[in-house]
Amino acid sequence: VPELRFHPFLGEWVVTAENRQGRTFHPPAEHCPLCPTLPGGFQTEILVPAYDVAVFENRFPSLTLPPAEVEDLGTPLMPTAPAGGVCEVVCYSDRHDASLATVDVDKARLLVRVWMDRSADLGSRPGVAHVFVFENRGHQVGVTLSHPHGQVYGYPFVPSVTARVCTAESRHFEATGRTLCSDWLAEEIADGQRVVEHGPEWASVVPFCARYPYELWLAPKRHIGRLQDMDDGQAEGLAHAMVGAARRLDGLFGVSMPYLMCVHQTPVGGDPRASCVRVEFLPFLRTADRLKYRASSETGAGVFLCDVRPEEAAERLRSASVQL
Ligand SMILES: [Zn+2]
């Protein structure tokens, strides 16, 4: 059963979840657990013959509510805690070979609605301190099921990266009365070199400080503190921006781009005036056949070495083929 163990050097929690070792690993397409269940066919996780979007709890969760009882092996220096929380899977296409780059905007709009709904729902559950929406895409980043899907985690604490981001956002808000995201985006738009797409509600930008080659952030032009605070126009804009970003990343080298997509938003107890919804696409290819690895400097020291100038990356993404 999963448990939390405290890392006293980094001051953060680690989820120790041995149960995940048993999870389904690269099943053949005909035994994909995320495909719909066809009449008389293999019984999948989703017991209907077709779906638009399906949300369900992960069968191999690292966090559960109520948390599993565990034998407390902790010490004052290295405490443990129950691994309370929620892990949900969000399948946004019943087509095994679809992706965020090939779904239509209607589907992406529905997906955004689902995120808003899951964020509000999980965020209202006792014991959930932060709702994190993400998608890992590609076997290169460790995905074990190739069927397109994202995930939503309800963490029982504010994760360390989120906490650092919120601290920076709060400091900026207290000092200026404006959000860090709006000031950053205004500077990026004024400069223009790294702007990839510029819609009425959202902009897609390779940030000045990109850590990954072709890293792409989607940021709202009007402030949004939490996913569920979006109005129709903002949700619509995000759907367009997401599909556009995924298509450009695939079009860049003409191959399916492995990426991590991470959605930042205000933690449950945070100040939604200061922290902003922002979507980060962290792509893992630096050329058509070379992966960007998180090596010692990145992982052990927290210093990223980025092989592509962000200005150059934005230019290439702007001219990337976005045909389906
Ligand atoms: Zn499938």
| CA 148 – ligand 1 centroid, Å | 7
How many Å apart are CA 118 and CA 273, to the nearest integer? 21
* % the chain with pLDDT above 70: 98
pLDDT class of 274 with cuts at 50, 70, 90: very high
In tens, the pLDDT along 28-58 reads 888 999 999 999 888 999 999 999 999 999 9
pLDDT on residue 23: 74
* % the chain with pLDDT above 90: 87
| CA 33 – ligand 1 centroid, Å | 6
CB 197 within 8 Å of CB 241:
yes
Q: Could you give the dihedral angle defined by the CA atoms of residues 243, 246, 251 and 254, in that order, rounded to the nearest 10 degrees?
A: -130
How many Å apart are CA 186 and CA 191, to the nearest integer? 9
| CA 25 – ligand 1 centroid, Å | 13
| CA 103 – ligand 1 centroid, Å | 15
* 134-151 residues labelled b (16+ CB within 10 A) or e (exposed): ebbbbebeebebbbbbbe
pLDDT on residue 147: 96
Phi-psi region of 321 (alpha: psi -120 to 50; beta: other; left: phi over 0): beta
Inform me whether the pLDDT recorded for 21 exceeds 80.
no
pLDDT on residue 323: 64
For residue 189 the two structure tokens come to 């738009």
In tens, the pLDDT along 123-167 reads 999 999 999 999 999 999 989 899 999 999 999 999 999 999 999
How many Å apart are CA 224 and CA 112, to the nearest integer? 14
Tell me the pTM. Answer: 0.96
pLDDT on residue 18: 82
| Overall average pLDDT of the 114-126 stretch | 98
How many Å apart are CA 97 and CA 292, to the nearest integer? 24
Angle between helices 310-318 and 232-253 (to 10 degrees): 100
| CA 34 – ligand 1 centroid, Å | 5
Inform me whether the pLDDT recorded for 103 exceeds 90.
yes
| CA 106 – ligand 1 centroid, Å | 20
pLDDT on residue 124: 98
| CA 93 – ligand 1 centroid, Å | 9
| Overall average pLDDT of the 186-215 stretch | 97
Spatial neighbors of 164 by CB under 8 A, at least 6 apart, are: none
For residue 35 the two structure tokens come to 């495909």
| CA 27 – ligand 1 centroid, Å | 9
Q: Which of 197, 172, 126, 151 is nearest to 275 (CA)?
A: 172
Q: Which of 287, 300, 26, 30 is nearest to 145 (CA)?
A: 26
Catalytic residues: 149
pLDDT on residue 292: 87
pLDDT on residue 20: 67
Inform me whether the pLDDT recorded for 304 exceeds 60.
yes
| CA 242 – ligand 1 centroid, Å | 21
Q: CA–CA distance from 217 to each of 12, 135, 282 (Å)?
A: 26, 14, 9
Amino acid at 180: L
Spatial neighbors of 72 by CB under 8 A, at least 6 apart, are: 80
pLDDT class of 26 with cuts at 50, 70, 90: confident
Q: What is the mean pLDDT of the chain?
A: 95
| Overall average pLDDT of the 266-288 stretch | 97
| Residue 86: strand pairing partners | 154
| Overall average pLDDT of the 194-214 stretch | 97
CA 76 to chain centre: 33
| Overall average pLDDT of the 268-286 stretch | 97
